Structure 1
Amino acid sequence: MKAGIFEPLKFRPFRSLFGAQLFSDLGNWLDFIALQVIVAYHWGLDETAIAAVIIVLGLPWVIIGPFASVFVDRLPKKQMMIICLFLRIMFVGGLFFAPNLYILLLFVFLKGTVAAIYDPARQSMIRFTVHDNHLPEAVTLSQLSVNTMKIIGPALGGGVIALFGAKSPFLFEAAGFFIAILILLTLPNMDEKEMNADIKSEKKNRGNGNYWKELLDGIKHISYTPLLKSSVILSSVAFFIIFLYDGLFVFIAQNLGFTEGNFGLLISAVGLGSVVGSLLMGNWTHWKRKPIHLMSSALLFSGSLIIVMGLGSMEIVNLPALAWVIGAFFLGFMGSGESVPYGFILQSETPKQMMGRVSAAATSLQTFSMLIAPAMGSLLAKWLGVSFVLIGAGGATCLLGAIVLIFIVRRINDQKDIQEKQFQA
């Protein structure tokens, strides 16, 4: 009988881990609107200040996460996650009382640093809480939490601001992290024997346990594992292309005829599409045999949708608002066709005891792509115009998907030729 997406929740350890993730992910997105409202409306600062907040949010994932990941792999994951959540509550308190932009940026950086340590630890724990045959469903549930909270978090944050004031989301965020701590306390320690055995085995293999050697081992593992290396490069380039136009989406929506009142429909449709896509992939897991095929095919389809939106922005293609909303839904739907297989490859192609280092190194590369892309997108928009940036991004997405698919097909044909020659010999 085929296992459904919720099958991993039958295991108590994963249930505790996933429950904590729900509240942690919600906390991550609750303050997304609050930070921008405080900076832009309360302090009257310009776009540069907003950009500074976004950059400082991402920096820890690039410059702290990879270096801290060695300790993530060495230390007990459950205790580390609980400590990280306590620290996040403290830093959210700092955001609540921040009197100016500089203090705000300091606490944004500190909160991001703890998040960059928490997430690799959580990724590591997934493998210890479910059997390998339930890994696709577990990874999909994890991605479903991220995608769902991207929708619920900002919407809830906006509602809380309207009811209780601009800084109130920080209080709800802190409460969410506290609930996550309570749930994590129910996580059994059943994995510790296996974890300690893995760590001891790796220590024996690596000799003296040199910090820099351990750090490089995580990077080397990515470069020496073809499927993992391909997925990391593919997702990083895809993230770069997406964030070229992501910050310009509001201007694209204006060109498509959306007003302030219904612009939110477009964003919500993307989020809803990613949730539906994750649910579908969790119940249909045949893709796990060929995850790169799915990632590259999803890029081809999403690139085509982006090109059509770019042509719509130039008024070459004229469609009603509902059609653009449906297009945005499928854009999100295809996005899950990239993110879920990537998460599965990351988990399945990495030894348990190296998960923290490999996850942090991969995330660092992706976040770096995401940080430099908006500035480049903004410059290109000023030079070429928003519509041309969108069409260019769509074309690059299609090209990326096509190149990977062609490479895969050629590789399969080469393998067939080798097998035929061996058979004839």
Structure 2
Amino acid sequence: MRSLAKNKGYMTLMGAQAISSIGDWLSIVAIITLVGLKWNASPIQVSAVILCLAVPMALLGPVAGIVADRFSRKTIMIISDVVRAGLILVLTIASSLWMVYATLFTIGIFSAVFIPAKNGKLKEVVGENDMKGAMSITSMIDSTTKILGPLISGVLVAAFGSQQVFIIDSATFVVSAVLLLFLPNAVNIEHTEESEQTQESFKQEFAMGLSFIKSSRFMIVGLLMMGVSLLILQSADTQLIVLIRELTNPSPDLFGYLVTGSGAGMFLAGVMLAKKTDYRAYPLMLMGVCGIGLSFGIMGALTYYDLSYSIIWAPALGFTAGFSASLIFVPFQATVQVDTPVNMTGRVFGVINSVMTTATIIGPLLGGWMATVLGVIPTFIITAGMLVLVSLIGYFTRRKVDRGNSHGSTHERRTSAATTG
């Protein structure tokens, strides 16, 4: 922790992340509130909001990862921030759902390039011994902004209107870009024979990243678990605003409070994982999947009975869901960061992000369809049961995954280090 605090490159990267993340939550809550409550959008239309951000990441994830490995990650991030700052301003004049969708889709394209570049840059500036702590702190920043963003957004929207929120979000991207200017240039890049083969096709580089992932049983099973869990999770998660409408006289701010509770849970989990970095990732991931399932199942049941004091129990269940989510994402991503050579980080995370965002594409569509056909409460009950089932399957197959960990990625990482050292 102390070594990370003295790492200027890491602190600069985290500062930029914190500022832009607050802006992201300002606009996301404003958009969901606008579309879900003020425009009274259907379940499918609400799902499409998330879908527009997810589709570009799924389609461009592998290509974006290769770009992040080939070119300056610092430059890629700065360009992405500046362009997104301009695109966010378009939302200030949005008068229809289709205008919102088109803008979000374009923003998603540049976000797809930014994410693997940021993960690669993190690997450049942080040593292996500090990586688990760094990923936990990154999660804490995300969850903190998830708490502050909705609260600030609610105040700003009530006081000035959604247009002002989008302008502020645009400004956060500009500030983030300025901070990124102070990042060090590429360091600790491993110059292998592969990096010198400039004529290598994108297809070949994608295959190399995929091959590296396949060399680790933990990465394969972990990615499969995350993909399936995200698919089920997004089926229900994108319908939260619709579930809230099932309550009698729901508070207009209830969605924001629920998201804030989720952020608080993620923050607490991040603190715990940052203090204790010698954890085993796979058991924590299983606990997280089960915890999200139970949280969503109880939330659906309490909504069915229209239980009073939703202003208390909804954020509380959001808290447990957020805590559980961190138990999935932080250990998995930290382990992948540790096991992946710096010169392959973009490709590996490009493939991972592509798989994960494909799940987030199918999930909202599935959730919108289920909520329309079956009803939103049955949707939450069914998805909760499926998440618990996934965790049970993972539990009974855990020994096979543990046996595979002694080979795979760890062996590959050491081999790479030996050939490049």
For the aligned pair, the TM-score class normalised by the smaller chain equals 0.7 to 0.9
Give the distance between the partners of 2:27 and 2:314, measured in 1 at CA.
28
Q: In the alignment, is residue 54 of structure 1 matched against residue 44 of structure 2?
A: no
Aligned residues: 403
Structure 2 alignment gaps of length 5 or more: 407-421
Asked whether the equivalents of residues 47 and 239 of structure 2 are also in contact (C-alpha less than 8 Å), the reply is no
Q: In the alignment, which residue of structure 2 is the partner of 1:217?
A: 208
- Deviation track 1:316-356 (CA, whole Å, cap 9, x = no partner) reads x9796545543432222111111111221221222211111
- The residue type equivalent to 1:353 in the other structure is N
SS of the counterpart of 2:397? helix
Q: In the alignment, which residue of structure 2 is the partner of 1:334?
A: 324
More relative contact order, 1 or 2 (CA 8 Å, 6+ apart): 2
- Deviation track 1:253-292 (CA, whole Å, cap 9, x = no partner) reads 56677722573443322221111111111112221xx201
Q: In the alignment, which residue of structure 1 is the partner of 2:232?
A: 241
Q: In the alignment, is residue 403 of structure 1 matched against residue 393 of structure 2?
A: yes
Give the distance between the partners of 1:14 and 1:183, measured in 2 at CA.
12
Give the distance between the partners of 1:18 and 1:414, measured in 2 at CA.
33
Q: In the alignment, which residue of structure 2 is the partner of 1:279?
A: 271
- The residue type equivalent to 1:83 in the other structure is I
- The residue type equivalent to 1:231 in the other structure is G
Give the distance between the partners of 2:75 and 2:362, measured in 1 at CA.
34
Q: In the alignment, which residue of structure 1 is the partner of 2:69?
A: 73
Give the distance between the partners of 1:56 and 1:365, measured in 2 at CA.
16
Give the distance between the partners of 1:353 and 1:238, measured in 2 at CA.
29
Deviation at 1:174, TM superposition (A): 2.0
State the TM-score, normalizing by the size of structure 1: 0.84
Q: In the alignment, which residue of structure 2 is the partner of 1:348?
A: 338
Asked whether the equivalents of residues 307 and 394 of structure 1 are also in contact (C-alpha less than 8 Å), the reply is yes
Give the distance between the partners of 1:368 and 1:410, measured in 2 at CA.
26
SS of the counterpart of 1:64? helix
- The residue type equivalent to 1:224 in the other structure is S
Q: In the alignment, which residue of structure 1 is the partner of 2:258?
A: 266
Query: Against the structure 1 CA distance between its residues 101 and 247, is the aligned structure 2 distance closer, same or farther, given a 3 Å change threshold?
Result: closer
Bigger radius of gyration: 1
Structure 1 alignment gaps of length 5 or more: 417-425
Correspondence list, 1:133-148, <5 A: 133-148=129-144
Of residues 17-26 and 388-397 in structure 1, the stretch that sits farther from structure 2 once superposed is 388-397
Query: Against the structure 1 CA distance between its residues 308 and 26, is the aligned structure 2 distance closer, same or farther, given a 3 Å change threshold?
Result: closer
Give the distance between the partners of 2:50 and 2:350, measured in 1 at CA.
19
Deviation at 1:245, TM superposition (A): 1.3
Query: Against the structure 1 CA distance between its residues 32 and 279, is the aligned structure 2 distance closer, same or farther, given a 3 Å change threshold?
Result: same
Query: Against the structure 1 CA distance between its residues 410 and 59, is the aligned structure 2 distance closer, same or farther, given a 3 Å change threshold?
Result: closer
Deviation at 1:361, TM superposition (A): 1.5
Query: Against the structure 1 CA distance between its residues 331 and 94, is the aligned structure 2 distance closer, same or farther, given a 3 Å change threshold?
Result: closer
Q: In structure 2, which of residues 131, 137, 145 is the aligned counterpart of residue 149 of structure 1? A: 145
Deviation at 1:98, TM superposition (A): 4.9
Q: In the alignment, which residue of structure 1 is the partner of 2:86?
A: 90
- Deviation track 1:73-118 (CA, whole Å, cap 9, x = no partner) reads 0011112211211212222233334565545433322221111111
Q: In structure 1, which of residues 9, 16, 20 is the aligned counterpart of residue 12 of structure 2? A: 16
- The residue type equivalent to 1:67 in the other structure is V
Deviation at 1:232, TM superposition (A): 1.2
Give the distance between the partners of 1:199 and 1:182, measured in 2 at CA.
29
Deviation at 1:414, TM superposition (A): 11
Asked whether the equivalents of residues 216 and 405 of structure 2 are also in contact (C-alpha less than 8 Å), the reply is no
Q: In structure 2, which of residues 119, 126, 129 is the aligned counterpart of residue 123 of structure 1? A: 119
Q: In the alignment, is residue 111 of structure 1 matched against residue 103 of structure 2?
A: no
Give the distance between the partners of 1:12 and 1:154, measured in 2 at CA.
29
- The residue type equivalent to 1:216 in the other structure is A
Q: In the alignment, which residue of structure 2 is the partner of 1:180?
A: 176
Q: In the alignment, which residue of structure 2 is the partner of 1:419?
A: none
Q: In structure 2, which of residues 283, 286, 292 is the aligned counterpart of residue 302 of structure 1? A: 292
Q: In the alignment, which residue of structure 1 is the partner of 2:155?
A: 159
Query: Against the structure 1 CA distance between its residues 249 and 226, is the aligned structure 2 distance closer, same or farther, given a 3 Å change threshold?
Result: same
State the TM-score, normalizing by the size of structure 2: 0.85
- Deviation track 1:372-399 (CA, whole Å, cap 9, x = no partner) reads 1122223333444433322222221122
Query: Against the structure 1 CA distance between its residues 410 and 68, is the aligned structure 2 distance closer, same or farther, given a 3 Å change threshold?
Result: closer
Asked whether the equivalents of residues 225 and 349 of structure 1 are also in contact (C-alpha less than 8 Å), the reply is no
Q: In the alignment, which residue of structure 1 is the partner of 2:355?
A: 365
Deviation at 1:412, TM superposition (A): 5.6
Give the distance between the partners of 1:51 and 1:301, measured in 2 at CA.
23
